[in-house]
Amino acid sequence: PVILAIESSCDETSASVIKDGKVLSNIIATQAVHEQYGGVVPELASRAHQQNIIPVVSQALLTANVTKSELSAVAFTRGPGLLGALLIGCSFAKSFALGLGIPIIEVNHMQAHILAHFIEDPKPEFPFLCLTVSGGHTQIVLVKSPLDMEVIGQTTDDAVGEAFDKTAKMLGLPYPGGPMLDKAAALGNPKAFAFPVGNMPGYDYSFSGIKTSVLYFLQKQVKENPAFVQENINDICASVQFTLIKTLLKKLVQASKDLNINQIAIAGGVSANSGLRHTLQEYAKKYNWQVYIPAFQYCTDNAAMIAMAAHFQFLEGDFATQYVSPEPRMKI
């Protein structure tokens, strides 16, 4: 099958073409309009998707050297994400498929983040555990087969991506904060400062407390030395990042032991974090894990992962009807 896939859940408008499981194109338009607000403004995201979608889809078909008439199906992200943003991809996919007389496939964005691992080799073996870490989610997922996944642990409040972004903002780093904090952290001492993190039962997480502890810590230090943040920015970033990574991996280690699974993957935007990637390699040696880390371009939002999920769904005959609508809180 040749499938056109569209991603529009947040602030990336993306389209991809996949042929028999091989990704032929992956065009991503990142919306710059949100930078001046320090975060994604839903209404502006929706309008930018409207402007971007036709050029992005055209480019994806052109790059893949595929014409509309060759398409077998059109896939789109149904959720989770921002309603107004999802509506653009969903409506476009439905009308495009209707015009071409081909089926539509609704894809779960979080499932797709995990299936990004099947775009390139090496591919994880089933069952595997995937730590999905992004702007809106933090989950440990037991992946039994491409379309059979179970969330065994998750955050009870903020996502880890949010913790990265919000602490970065507090430190005066420009939006998007996560990648900026990562860069500064590479130059600092991870043991310079200690920050407490909430401990949740089982495989669950809590990341709302660290924001507050960083805030109070900074307020106290700045009172004594107004230049504290400027002078210690790298050490603060390294320490925050160290704490977040340690917390994430502690539960993953526990899950791996309990379930006796050593196939370990990471997915989602935060899996682009160099500290997390590096630490996971160390853990691979320590715990005898086989680790799978996606290529950078498949960590943050992209349509290639939606295409990959759609490919598996196509093979199962899992199609949607023209009555389908976005589901902002869609679960795995």
Q: Annotated binding residues for Fe cation, as ranges?
A: 109, 113, 301
204 versus 301: smaller Cβ distance to ligand ATP: 301
DSSP notation for 220-289: HHHHH-TTHHHHHHHHHHHHHHHHHHHHHHHHHHHHHHHHT--EEEEESGGGG-HHHHHHHHHHHHHHT-
For residue 106, state whether it binds ligand ATP (rule: CB under 6 A).
Answer: no
Distances (CA, A) of 141 to 107, 153, 176: 17, 7, 26
For residue 165, state whether it binds ligand ATP (rule: CB under 6 A).
Answer: yes
For residue 134, state whether it binds ligand ATP (rule: CB under 6 A).
Answer: yes
The stretch among 46-54, 65-73, 145-153, 263-271 that binds ligand ATP (CB under 6 A) is 263-271
Contact map string, positions 3 to 42, toward Mg ion, x by CB under 5 A: -------xx-------------------------------
Sheet holding 22-30, edge to edge: 22-30, 12-19, 2-7, 73-79, 104-108
Give the DSSP letter of residue 123. P
Span between the terminal Cα atoms of the chain, in Å: 25
For residue 136, state whether it binds ligand ATP (rule: CB under 6 A).
Answer: yes
Q: Which residues sit opposite 15 in a β-bridge?
A: 6, 27
CB of 224 to ligand ATP, least distance (A): 29
Strands 73-79 and 104-108: parallel
Residue nearest to ligand ATP (CB): 269
Comparing C-alpha atoms, which of 290, 201, 283, 198 is closest to residue 244? 198
- The binder of 158, among Mg ion, Fe ion, ligand ATP, none, by C-beta within 5 to 8 A per type, is none
CB of 1 to ligand ATP, least distance (A): 25
- Amino acid identity for residue 135 in this structure: G
Binding-site residue numbers for substrate are 132-136, 165, 178, 182, 273
Rounded to an integer, what distance in angstroms lies between the CA atom of residue 315 and that of residue 299? 24
Binding residues (CB under 5 A) for Fe ion: these are 134, 301
Binding residues (CB under 6 A) for ligand ATP: these are 9-10, 80-81, 109, 113, 134-137, 161, 164-165, 176-179, 182, 268-270, 272-273, 300-301
Binding residues (CB under 5 A) for Mg ion: these are 10-11
